[in-house]
Amino acid sequence: MWTASSFVIASMIGTGVFTSLGFQLNDIQSIFPLIMLWIVGGVVALCGALSYSELGAALPRSGGEYHLLSRIIHPSIGFAGGFVSATVGFSAPAVLAAMALGMYFAAIFPAFDPMWVACSMILVFHFLHAFSLKWGTLFQGWSTGIKVILIFIFIIAGFMMNDHQVISILPKPGDMKLIMSSGFAVSLVWVYYAYTGWNSTIYFAGEVRNPQKDLPRSLLLGTSFVMVLYVLLNYIFLYTTPISEMVGQVEVGYISGVRIFGQTGAGIIAIGISFLLLSTISSYVFIGPRIMETMGEDYSYIRILSKNNSQGIPVYAFILQLAICLLFIFTSSFKQVLMYTGIALIITNSATVAAVFVLRKREPELPRPYKVWGYPWTPILFLAVNAWILFYTFKEQTVESIIGVSLFLASILLYYLGNKFEQNTQI
């Protein structure tokens, strides 16, 4: 359970929380709504984790949304969910973490090109996880522990700072209007991305020793723990650093670190954040190929992705993921990748949570070792907030929203084209 929880924590803590506040400040510059962003995002993630826990405990098999949607709704929807998860769901976040690492590293050592730092880290972790399950999981556990310690040091040092900003988390006139605004809803896409990873254990459920008990525990423990850290960390960013210095900036952790520790100390913290991001890259690189492996087991035209080496590692799936990651690095900007990744994941996660209702109706007698707490309101809240986010993102970020939806629809088309190809081959 602890290893599974470490993957949840490592997948969640990383790029989003250390990069998204600067973009949120473009639309919102009031403290209470900014903190509420992270509380609302955490509550939504917990609702999603509770809903996924029921599905994962009842149908324990690696593959995540691919397995669950295929089994419960339709193979084409499952294929689309798996394809989105394997590409933008894990490859893109791994790239974003690598890009952020490159930016933080370049802030300390300007001679290094951020893009080539990102490329090098992607190559290193694909090599590590593709050839050694033992060393890969060992690194994951230790790096996650160090990551959490670094964040606690940052938070404690921030609270001890004397020359801090005068802020209040209490609501002021106009804050409720901001919370109901389109800017708040669009900013939730950044927060949603920062919480991405709350469902990590689902993707390798088949490798968890006691999935009926440990899946729900790892998802709930990891998500609750990260939500507390996120709220505290963003409060420290606002408590220590003037808003004007962070607006539109990616490396807000480094900027805040300069205020807390001085230029030299901030350099050390930036190195720490870079190490923290290594853990995030590692977790995404580890999980993504497991989805491709499960899909390869079910479809002959991509069966090569299910082939394992002597340690049971899907090497060809790792090679494909590596190619996708390098394509992202050399063709897309940080902000572009983050926005349409967040939208595509909202669609996929919403379809999976909706599957809780479908499975209960179709198979009421199916053994359910864990049932979602607060049913039906927990999954309803998750779906309602996501629908609200999507409505405003389509209104305010139309192009990115269309790309996100197109990825899902193109995946369904790919499913039918692949089946057609398989039928023609058999003939």
> Which residues contact residue 417 at a Cβ distance below 8 angstroms, ignoring those fewer than 6 apart?
none
pLDDT at 285: 82
pLDDT of residue 209: 66
Show Cβ contacts of residue 148 under 8 Å, excluding neighbours closer than 6 positions: 9, 13, 229
The answer to whether the predicted template modeling score (pTM) of the entire model surpasses 0.75 is yes
pLDDT at 387: 92
Least confident window among 48-52, 146-150, 245-249: 146-150
CA R_g for the chain: 21
Number of domains in the chain: 1
Instruction: Say which DSSP state 199 is in.
Output: T
Over residues 389-399, mean pLDDT: 83
Count CA within 13 A, CB hemisphere, residue 49. Answer: 31
Mean local confidence (pLDDT), 299-318: 80
* Residue 266: predicted pLDDT: 72
Which range marks the domain in which residue 69 is found?
2-426
Q: Is 368 exposed, middle or buried (0-12, 13-18, 19+ CB in 10 A)?
A: middle
pLDDT at 204 over 60: no
Question: What was the pLDDT predicted at 356?
Answer: 93
CB 226 within 8 A of CB 43: no
Which residue in 258, 195, 242, 339 sits closest to 25, CA to CA?
242
Choice between 351 and 146, residue whose per-residue pLDDT is larger: 351
Cβ pair 284, 97 in contact under 8 A: yes
* Six-digit token string for 53: 């826990």
- The per-residue pLDDT for 212 is 62
pLDDT of residue 15: 64
pLDDT band at 140 (very low <50, low <70, confident <90, very high): low
Tell me the pLDDT of the chain averaged across its residues: 80
Separation CA 122–CA 95 (nearest Å): 7
Residue 351 · residue 65 · CB < 8 Å: yes
* Other C-beta atoms lying within 10 Å of the C-beta of residue 194: 28
Q: Read off the amino acid at residue 109.
A: F
The mean pLDDT value for 335-347 works out to 76
Taking only the tens place, the pLDDT of each residue in 370-389 is 788 888 999 999 999 999 98
Q: Is the pLDDT of residue 74 over 60?
A: yes
Rounded percentage of the chain residues whose pLDDT exceeds 90: 8
> What is the per-residue pLDDT for 369?
79
CATH at residue 70: 1.20.1740.10
In this predicted structure, what is the pLDDT of residue 3?
Answer: 67
Report the alpha-carbon distance of residue 347 to residue 69 in Å, rounded.
12
Residue 368 banded pLDDT, cuts 50, 70, 90: confident
What average pLDDT does this structure show over 310-314? 76
At 101-117, the pLDDT tens digits run 887 777 777 888 888 88
pLDDT at position 415 over 90: no
Q: What is the pLDDT of residue 276?
A: 72
